[in-house]
Amino acid sequence: MTPERWQQVKNLFHAALERESNHRAHFLDEACAGDVSLRREVESLIASHERTGSFIDSPAYEVGAELLTDNQAETLLGQTISHYKILALLGSGGMGEVYLAQDAKLGRKVALKLLPALFTKDRNRLRRFEQEARVASALNHPNICMIHEVSETEDDRHYIAMEYVDGMTLRQHMTKARLKLSEVLDVAVQVASGLAAAH
């Protein structure tokens, strides 16, 4: 999708959201003028938006998840989940926390993504977590982490064990030094390559 096309999709998406849901179909009939692909992209964004909530909900939700994660991270350090010993918190987001863990069976470090315990009763979040694992496990690409295992513990902790890639994040690298154009292009090509494989 070209940047111009994405801008068009985004503009129509926001314009459609400003209308009541029962008027959106008529609006899209006129705005898309028979462009089926364009309409499908806009409708897909609208459907996704309605499933996950508005952008206003997201920041508060993420802050809440971070607060819960901070408290939980301290209690999980040094503990064992299945055959993975938790070594450190790597990051957190809306769908879980990711820890550096030691795989006791294979003697390797892994990134262990845990669905927060309070979400295991939420069928929608549990389904999304499992869907993410299924989709990611089907991918084999040098710019996408490999999934080693998807499982749950006896006490209903759902997790995804994946390849651990040691190093700093792009954000960390960017705070230390300004990227050269050649580095920016190299990163963009790698990201695009991984996204194309996943898409």
Query: Do 96 and 81 belong to one domain?
Result: yes
pTM above 0.85, yes or no: no
Number of residues in the chain: 199
Query: Do 21 and 67 belong to one domain?
Result: no
Relative to beta strand 96-103, strand 80-81 is unpaired
What's the CA gap between 39 and 186, in Å, rounded?
Answer: 33
CATH code assigned at 77? 3.30.200.20
For the segment 177-186, the average pLDDT, to the nearest whole number, is 92
Residue 157 lies inside a defined structural domain of this protein: yes
Q: Is 151 helix (H, G, I), strand (E, B) or coil?
A: strand
Residue 58 lies inside a defined structural domain of this protein: no
Domain containing 70: what range? Answer: 63-163
Q: How far is CA 35 from CA 3, 24, 110, 151, in A?
A: 17, 16, 45, 43
Residue 34 lies inside a defined structural domain of this protein: yes
Query: Do 120 and 70 belong to one domain?
Result: yes
For 100-118, the pLDDT digits (tens) are 999 999 999 999 998 877 7
Higher-pLDDT residue of 54, 108: 108
Query: Do 112 and 80 belong to one domain?
Result: yes
The pLDDT value recorded for residue 107 is 94
